[in-house]
């Protein structure tokens, strides 16, 4: 069986040469851009040792960066769990045969996809207290905003993934007596989730980065503590931004690696052959008169 993709043909000799030349040109251009950035920062004295010296102190990490990192991971972790639950529930709602369920579910998803996340966090923190006659903490304002927006995007991803599963899967399930909710939970959703895993991971990475919008309600996340507060004390906003950017890159890379590992793991389990529970008949065995399999005659 051919392993080539319908969207990609393996390059021939000329294409390989062209790709190599383009790679060299792009690499040289990238090095030139990095050198230009380095020289511009050097002219602005951003590589001075006193600007980077605070990052060698333990107090910088324990008072600013690590508390901000913990606040970011906490908000992102809760937001990821709630967003996935929101996405699954409203994906099922949009696929319901009952209009009184599918229409409101679609309206909710489309509304929260259209509202900017920053405005949503702002309204939850400052506007909702007038409705519930009580305060909303910055943590829950960020988490609820992340859940409503990213959950709506994930709902559409799950809905598209479920619809992409071949119709024979659900028809076979209905044929053996399954109900629609069982078909959704046991047949369609697991296949859709695995097929949509790259989109799900991409959206969760976006969710992690969007925690930085919590600055609008003074939530002490990584960007607020590691850049704004740190620079206010040491006057090194550019070095602080570079260090925090590296931390974000590391976290997102780990999340992407975990998703790839999970995809490979589930793929191995999906295609693992079942064990034989009884003796295997030889390929050239013939059935006997009483219905048993006779041993081949030498």
Specify the pLDDT at position 6.
46
With bands split at pLDDT 50, 70 and 90, how would you rate the model's confidence at 231? confident
Decide if pLDDT at 1 tops 70: no
Q: Give yes or no for residue 3 having a pLDDT over 80.
A: no
Rounded Cα gap, residues 72 and 214, in angstroms: 9
With CA atoms as reference, report the closest residue to 228 among 219, 216, 237: 237
The pLDDT, as a whole number, for residue 144 is 96
What is the domain partition of the chain in residue ranges? 51-268
CB neighbours of residue 167 within 10 Å: 8
Structure confidence by residue, pLDDT tens digits, 143-161: 999 999 999 999 998 888 8
pLDDT of 227 above 60 = yes
Contacts of 141 (CB under 8 A, 6+ apart): 121, 124, 125, 214, 217, 219
**CB 68, CB 212: distance < 8 Å:** no
Task: Give the confidence band of 279 by pLDDT, cuts at 50, 70, 90.
Answer: low
List own/partner pairs for 49-58 with CB under 8 A and 24 or more apart: 51/234, 51/235, 51/236, 51/238, 51/239, 52/236, 52/239, 54/230, 54/234, 54/236, 55/239, 55/243
Residues in the chain: 298
Query: Check: CATH 3.40.50.20 for 51-268?
Result: no
The rounded distance, in Å, linking the Cα atoms of 157 and 94 is: 12
The Cα 254–Cα 250 span in angstroms is 6
pLDDT in tens, 16-51: 888 899 999 999 999 999 999 999 988 888 889 899
Can you give the pLDDT at residue 266? 66
Cβ atoms of 79 and 145 within 8 Å: the answer is no
Instruction: List, for residues 79-104, the tens digit of each pLDDT value.
Output: 999 999 999 999 989 988 889 989 99
Measured in whole angstroms, the distance separating CA 135 from the mean position of its chain's CA atoms is 31
Question: Could you give the dihedral angle defined by the CA atoms of residues 252, 255, 257 and 258, in that order, rounded to the nearest 10 degrees?
Answer: 170
Q: Is the dihedral of CA 98, 104, 108, 111 positive or negative?
A: positive
pTM: predicted TM-score of the whole model, two decimal places: 0.77
The 10s digit of each residue's pLDDT in 114-137 is 999 999 999 999 999 999 888 999
Report the C-alpha gap between 143 and 137 in whole angstroms. Answer: 10
Beta bridge partners of 286: 294
Is residue 142 within 8 A of residue 219, CB to CB? The reply is yes
Question: What mean pLDDT do residues 53-57 have?
Answer: 91
Best CA proximity match to 187, nearest among 170, 175, 174: 170
Query: Residues 6 or more apart from 256 whose CB is under 8 A from it?
Result: 201, 205
How high does pLDDT run on average in the chain? Answer: 84
């Amino acid at each position: 069986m051919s392993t080539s993709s319908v969207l990609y043909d393996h390059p021939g000799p000329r294409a390989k040469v062209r790709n190599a030349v383009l790679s060299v040109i792009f690499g040289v251009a990238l090095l030139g851009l990095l050198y230009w950035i380095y020289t511009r920062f050097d002219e602005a004295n951003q590589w001075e040792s006193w600007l980077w010296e605070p990052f060698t102190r333990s107090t910088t990490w324990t008072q600013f960066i690590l508390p901000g990192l913990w606040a970011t991971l906490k908000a992102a972790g809760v937001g990821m769990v709630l967003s996935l639950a929101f996405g699954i529930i409203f994906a099922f709602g949009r696929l319901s045969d009952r209009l009184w369920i599918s229409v409101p579910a679609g309206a909710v998803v489309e509304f929260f996809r259209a509202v900017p996340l920053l405005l949503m966090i702002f309204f939850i923190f400052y506007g909702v207290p007038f409705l519930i006659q009580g305060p909303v903490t910055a943590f829950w304002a960020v988490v609820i905003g992340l859940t409503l927006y990213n959950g709506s995007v994930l709902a559409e991803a799950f809905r598209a993934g479920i619809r992409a599963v071949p119709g024979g899967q659900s028809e076979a399930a209905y044929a053996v007596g399954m109900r629609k909710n069982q078909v959704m939970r046991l047949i369609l959703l697991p296949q859709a989730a695995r097929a949509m895993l790259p989109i799900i991971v991409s959206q969760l990475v976006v969710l992690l980065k969007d925690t930085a919008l919590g600055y609008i309600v003074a939530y002490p996340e990584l960007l607020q503590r590691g850049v704004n507060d740190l620079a206010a004390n040491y006057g090194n906003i550019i070095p602080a931004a570079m260090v925090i950017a590296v931390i974000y890159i590391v976290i997102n890379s780990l999340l992407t690696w975990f998703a790839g590992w999970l995809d490979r793991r589930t793929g191995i389990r999906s295609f693992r052959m079942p064990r034989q529970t009884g003796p295997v008949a030889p390929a050239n065995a013939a059935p006997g008169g009483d219905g048993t399999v006779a041993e081949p005659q030498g």
